[in-house]
Structure 1
Amino acid sequence: MKILLAGDSTVAACPSFEYPMSGWGAHLAPETYWWAAVHNYAKGGATTESFREEGLWHQLLHQAVQGDLVLIQFGHNDQKRDHLAARTGYAENPRRMVAEVRSKGGIPILCTSVERRHFELGVLQETLGEFPAVVRELGGEFGLEVIDLNTWTRALYQELGEEGSKELFFHFAPGEHAHWAGGLEDNTHFHEKGARMIAAHVAGQLESLGYGLASSVRAGASA
Structure 2
Amino acid sequence: MVIVSACKQPNQASQKPTLFLIGDSTVKNGKGKGDGGLWGWGNFLPAYFDTTKIVVRNNAFGGTSSRTFRTMGLWDKVLVNIKPGDFVMMQFGHNDSSPVNDTLRARGTIKSNGDESQEIDNLITKKHETVHSYGWYLRQFISDIQARGATAIVLSPVPRNTWKDGKANRNDQDYGKWAAEAAIQSGAYFIDLNKIISDRYEAEGEAKVKAEYFNTTDHTHTIEAGARVNAASVIQGLKEQKNIALNKYLTPAARKKGARL
| Aligned-partner SS, 1:12 | coil
Q: Is the 8 A contact 1:169 1:187 kept in 2?
A: no
Percent identity (aligned): 29
The one-letter amino acid of 2:82's match is A
Report the alpha carbon displacement of residue 167 of structure 1 after superposing the two structures with TM. 3.8
Q: Is the 8 A contact 2:171 2:194 kept in 1?
A: no
Corresponding residue to 2:110 among 56, 71, 85: 85
Runs of at least 5 residues in structure 2 that lack an aligned partner in the other structure: 1-16, 101-107, 117-132, 252-261
Distance 1:128 1:9 in 2: 21
Tell me what 1:174 maps to: none
Tell me what 2:247 maps to: 212
- Structure 1 runs (4+) deviating above 6 angstroms are none
| Aligned-partner SS, 1:26 | helix
Report the alpha carbon displacement of residue 205 of structure 1 after superposing the two structures with TM. 3.4
TM-score, normalised to structure 1, is 0.83
The one-letter amino acid of 1:77's match is N
Tell me what 2:46 maps to: 29
1:137-176 equivalences in 2 (<5 Å)? 137-171=181-215
1:71 paired to 2:89: yes
Task: Choose between structure 1 and 2 for higher RCO, CA contacts under 8 A separated by at least 6 residues.
Answer: 1
Cα gap change, 1:185 to 1:169, in 2 (>3 Å)? farther
Distance 1:43 1:128 in 2: 24
Cα gap change, 1:193 to 1:96, in 2 (>3 Å)? same
1:122 paired to 2:178: no
Distance 1:60 1:167 in 2: 36
Runs of at least 5 residues in structure 1 that lack an aligned partner in the other structure: 172-183, 217-223
Between stretches 149-158 and 31-40, larger displacement belongs to 31-40
1:5 paired to 2:21: yes
The one-letter amino acid of 1:109's match is I
Corresponding residue to 2:37 among 4, 20, 26: 20
Tell me what 2:153 maps to: 109
Distance 1:119 1:51 in 2: 29
The one-letter amino acid of 1:23's match is G
Cα gap change, 1:72 to 1:22, in 2 (>3 Å)? same
Between stretches 2-11 and 203-212, larger displacement belongs to 203-212
Q: Is the 8 A contact 1:168 1:195 kept in 2?
A: no
Report the alpha carbon displacement of residue 124 of structure 1 after superposing the two structures with TM. 2.9
| Aligned-partner SS, 2:221 | strand
Cα gap change, 1:54 to 1:197, in 2 (>3 Å)? same
Corresponding residue to 1:198 among 224, 230, 233: 230
Cα gap change, 1:61 to 1:147, in 2 (>3 Å)? same
The one-letter amino acid of 1:152's match is I
- Quick check: which one's helix share is greater? 1
Distance 2:135 2:62 in 1: 20
> How many aligned residue pairs are there?
205
Cα gap change, 1:122 to 1:212, in 2 (>3 Å)? closer
Report the alpha carbon displacement of residue 128 of structure 1 after superposing the two structures with TM. 7.6
Distance 1:86 1:45 in 2: 18
Distance 1:208 1:126 in 2: 20
Tell me what 1:54 maps to: 72
Report the alpha carbon displacement of residue 14 of structure 1 after superposing the two structures with TM. 3.2
TM-score, normalised to structure 2, is 0.71
